[in-house]
Amino acid sequence: MKKVSIALLGCGTVGKGVIDLLAMNGPLIEEQLDTEITIKRVLIRDMPKYEQMELPDDILLTTDFADIVNDDEIEIVVEVMGSADFAKDCIEQCFKKGKSVVSANKDLIADYGMPLLKMAKECNVDFQFEASVAGGIPIVRPMYSSLNSNTMEEIIGIMNGTTNYILSNMTDTGMSYETALKEAQEKGYAEADPTNDVSGYDAGRKIAILATLGFHSALTFNDVSVEGIENIAQEDIQHAREMGYVIKLLAIARQDGDGISLNVHPAFIRKGHPLANVGGAYNAVYVRGNCVGDVMFYGQGAGSLPTASAVVSDVMNVILHCNINITGSRDFVWHDPKLKPQDSICAPYYLRMVVDNAPGVLSSISAVLAQHKISIRSLIQKDETTEIAEIVILIDSSAAGLVNQSLKEIEDLACVRKIANAIRVIEV
């Protein structure tokens, strides 16, 4: 049986998962590859912390990346650290030394995936990153090797478990955003500083990666317009339910003859749609190709062993390639993307506003919408007190620029106290 030595950069949740998975499924994996896998070295930051972890005795811990990159026995390096810049530097050094790399690092791939893939090819090594999007769900490889006969039209993902957990909890229990966030933090689903998740940045990085592959376009996180869930109130959840929708944080990539748009924002999605039923911390990616039609991938988007499942499958692919000397042989094609102006992106909108409970209010608001040729699909007015009323309007598909301009003008009306929310309806 052949032998291959690998190294891990990082030993957090995912790194530990890789060690555990290889211990659990080692014989099955080695039989498939006719190759014995040894984790030879692990790069860590804090030696005392890891000396207390019960890692197998034969793994050498180091705080010095040079120990790994200069070890010629190590053929494959698994990067599971998280930060982008240091990881990028390490990976480039690995490539130069002829080592293939598997990464689970979405921050890195979203910003540097394309140049790293190019460099890997030049160095005749593999660079694989299935785990960077949606944890254990196979989506990166299917995108470039199973759906690649299609012109991709749409990729819509629920790709952040934290926000899906919070929104599902708000929907199921009626709790407020603040309470749901606190509970998610207590249960370990949200971090102490939840910004990266709740503001949509994490989902934005993942959609940039998938759109790069699906649209064969040089896209990065900078191309994604991002909006988080911080402004979603229980009232919005309830109005959505009454109208037959649920609210999800969606990452949306679309491509048509006019160009590409990349967005992350909360959205109304109709109850019967497969994406609407993705609950808790689960992830799902819904893809529409011009021939395959709509396809959805669903599963656990995070966690130690699910993410390790994707990482180790990548390692197995690299080993297969090493064994027949074809690392670095896959070509990826990219074009410069033509991005659509955000103002031109159309969707129906749900609008919720707090207004004076007085005659003429509806007429003033609908006049503004009419002036911008925005058509009202439905409207509900509820008196909150004798002084204040709440108005909920569903408008037909309208360009974001027009909607925003209208909302500014409506907010300037003397009878309008505030625009409480404006949420797009995604019709798929």
Annotated binding site for NADPH: 106
Does position 130 interact with a second copy (CB under 8 A)? The reply is: yes
Q: 259 or 401: whose CB is closer to a second copy?
A: 259
Among 163, 255, 261, 300, which residue interacts with a second copy (rule: CB under 8 A)? 300
Binding-site residue ranges for NADP(+)? 9-16
Q: 106 or 288: whose CB is closer to a second copy?
A: 288
Q: How far is the CB of 135 from a second copy (least distance, A)?
A: 8
Closest C-alpha to 55, from 24, 19, 92, 84: 19
Report the site for a second copy in 212-241 (rule: CB under 8 A): 216
**Part of the chain binding a second copy (CB under 8 A), chosen from 95-103, 138-146, 200-208, 252-260:** 138-146
Report the site for a second copy in 1-30 (rule: CB under 8 A): 17, 21, 24-25, 28-29
**Part of the chain binding a second copy (CB under 8 A), chosen from 5-13, 248-256, 317-325, 345-353:** 317-325
**Residue 272 dihedral angles phi and psi, to the nearest 5°:** -75, -10
Among 63, 146, 238, 375, which residue interacts with a second copy (rule: CB under 8 A)? 146
Report the site for a second copy in 371-410 (rule: CB under 8 A): none
Report the site for a second copy in 261-290 (rule: CB under 8 A): 272, 274, 277, 289-290
Which residues are known catalytic residues? 206
Closest C-alpha to 244, from 155, 159, 348: 348
Q: 148 or 234: whose CB is closer to a second copy?
A: 148
Binding-site residue ranges? 9-16, 106, 191
Binding mask 178-217 for a second copy (x = CB under 8 A): --------------------------------------x-
β-strands 346-356, 388-399 pairing: antiparallel
Q: 50 or 298: whose CB is closer to a second copy?
A: 298
Q: How far is the CB of 415 from a second copy (least distance, A)?
A: 43
Among 149, 363, 385, 386, which residue interacts with a second copy (rule: CB under 8 A)? 149
Among 145, 371, 381, 404, which residue interacts with a second copy (rule: CB under 8 A)? 145
Among 141, 182, 270, 340, which residue interacts with a second copy (rule: CB under 8 A)? 141
Does position 155 interact with a second copy (CB under 8 A)? The reply is: no
* Residues lying near a second copy in the complex (CB under 8 A): 17, 21, 24-25, 28-29, 31-32, 34, 130, 136-138, 141-142, 145-151, 216, 272, 274, 277, 289-300, 303, 305-306, 308-310, 312-313, 315-317, 320, 324, 326, 329-331, 333
